[in-house]
Amino acid sequence: MEHLRIPGPTPCPADVLQAMTRQMINHRGVEFGQILNGVTAKLKQLFQTKGDVFLLTSSGTGGLEAAIVNTLSPGDKVLSVSIGVFGERFATIAEQFGAEVTPLRFEWGKAADVDAVRRALKAEPKIKAVLATHNETSTGVTNDLASISSAAKEFDKLLVVDAISSLGSINLPVDDWHCDVVVTGSQKGWMVPPGLAMVSMNQEAWQAQASATMPRFYWDFAQAKNYLERATAQTPWTPAISTIFALSVSLEMMLKEGLPNIVARHARVAQAARDGIKSLGLSLFAKESHASNTVTSVRSPDGLDTAKMLKILREEHQVVLAGGQQTLAGKIFRIGHLGWVTEDDIEIAISALKVVLPQAGFRAS
């Protein structure tokens, strides 16, 4: 058995995979409508929102594109709070669709400085929206989203959040923290194969939607809302039915465990990962105060051939970890621990690392 410890896709429980074998049904029929309504209601509970939540047949990146094109117009000024690869991606999408992006970048491995966010918003009153990453998968850092939201709302800005690798694993009370649009993806904490993005929209987001002129068709939330609220709930376009069957099962499991318990489990597992890494004589890439509870980033020490280490782990120990992305390639590696994960899974990864690190050139000092 392979131990897939990357920050998504994540391993799926047997019952979730079993749900994928169900035969197709009519996506415009009564039974599917009931399933869609049930899944949507459960997602709202886990998003902690009374707003709308939509399922999109796409990866998480598609969800980010949907969030942008539904709320912005070409020429709109946007503040991008970026702490890594996925923060940059979010800003690039906005730029591609004609937004004027003011980048506010922080050193990779650190969280966003909320005072700097406040200063940037003060300096440019015409900014309409703030794009922020809750959990930056590429660096293993979780932003203080509640404080970023306070800053954004102090200046009355729309807040659009990439919570792809946090929601359902790290606490994110969407309504309490006043996040207007929040995006996540099925293959992260939700324990489901990739293929679905889930996005919430509140009243402020709908107000923005009404005047937003970025071109949209596939991603249009007005269409999604129209179809979802029909007598037989539907999606506008044929959805990933099997993945919705799977999500229905995983959401049941999540509600049974309870969100506070899930959040606490992720915190415990992440602590075990950080403690384990330090016990090996390695050091964490992200400052521990902002270290993510879904992915742990580790500095590759001098002498370590990271690519060789990942290869031996995979081939001889069936432990699959992730390397660094872009400028972090070869400089860090990452352990994913979100979704269907316990301390035992971390123990397996740390034990394998203990054997493989010296084989890949690491000498503990």
Residues that bind a copy of itself (CB under 8 A): 2, 4, 6, 8-12, 17-18, 20-27, 29, 57-62, 65, 92-93, 96-98, 185, 187, 193-195, 214-218, 236-243, 314, 320, 322
The answer to whether the CB of 233 falls within 8 A of the CB of 227 is: yes
CB closer to a copy of itself, 19 vs 79: 19
CB closer to a copy of itself, 146 vs 253: 253
* 255 Cα distance to chain centroid: 19
The answer to whether the CB of 155 falls within 8 A of the CB of 120 is: no
CB closer to a copy of itself, 9 vs 33: 9
Nearest distance, CB of residue 96 and a copy of itself, angstroms: 5
The token pair that represents 73 in the structure block:
């117009």
CB closer to a copy of itself, 49 vs 59: 59
**Cβ-proximal residues to 21 (8 Å cutoff; 6+ apart), any chain:** none
CB closer to a copy of itself, 60 vs 276: 60
Nearest distance, CB of residue 365 and a copy of itself, angstroms: 31
DSSP state of 304: -
Count of alpha carbons within 13 angstroms of residue 322, beta-carbon side: 22
Which amino acid appears at position 173 of this protein? P
Question: How many Å apart are CA 104 and CA 97, to the nearest integer?
Answer: 19
The token pair that represents 54 in the structure block:
């939509």
Partners of 103 in the β-ladder? 80
Torsion angle of C-alpha atoms 98, 103, 109, 111, degrees rounded to 10: -110
Nearest distance, CB of residue 46 and a copy of itself, angstroms: 20
The token pair that represents 218 in the structure block:
């596939």
CB closer to a copy of itself, 152 vs 335: 335
CB closer to a copy of itself, 215 vs 258: 215
Nearest distance, CB of residue 347 and a copy of itself, angstroms: 20
Provide the residue count of the chain: 365
Nearest distance, CB of residue 64 and a copy of itself, angstroms: 8
Residue with tokens 């996005």: 199
CB closer to a copy of itself, 103 vs 236: 236
The token pair that represents 283 in the structure block:
């050091």
CB closer to a copy of itself, 117 vs 233: 233
The answer to whether the CB of 150 falls within 8 A of the CB of 143 is: no
The answer to whether the CB of 197 falls within 8 A of the CB of 60 is: yes
Nearest distance, CB of residue 270 and a copy of itself, angstroms: 20
Nearest distance, CB of residue 268 and a copy of itself, angstroms: 23
Nearest distance, CB of residue 290 and a copy of itself, angstroms: 24
Which has the closest alpha carbon to 198: 150, 158, 163? 163
The token pair that represents 202 in the structure block:
């509140």
Instruction: Supply φ then ψ for residue 23, to 5 degrees.
Output: -65, 155
What distance separates the 2 farthest-apart alpha carbons in the chain?
A: 67
Nearest distance, CB of residue 235 and a copy of itself, angstroms: 8
Which has the closest alpha carbon to 244: 303, 282, 193? 193
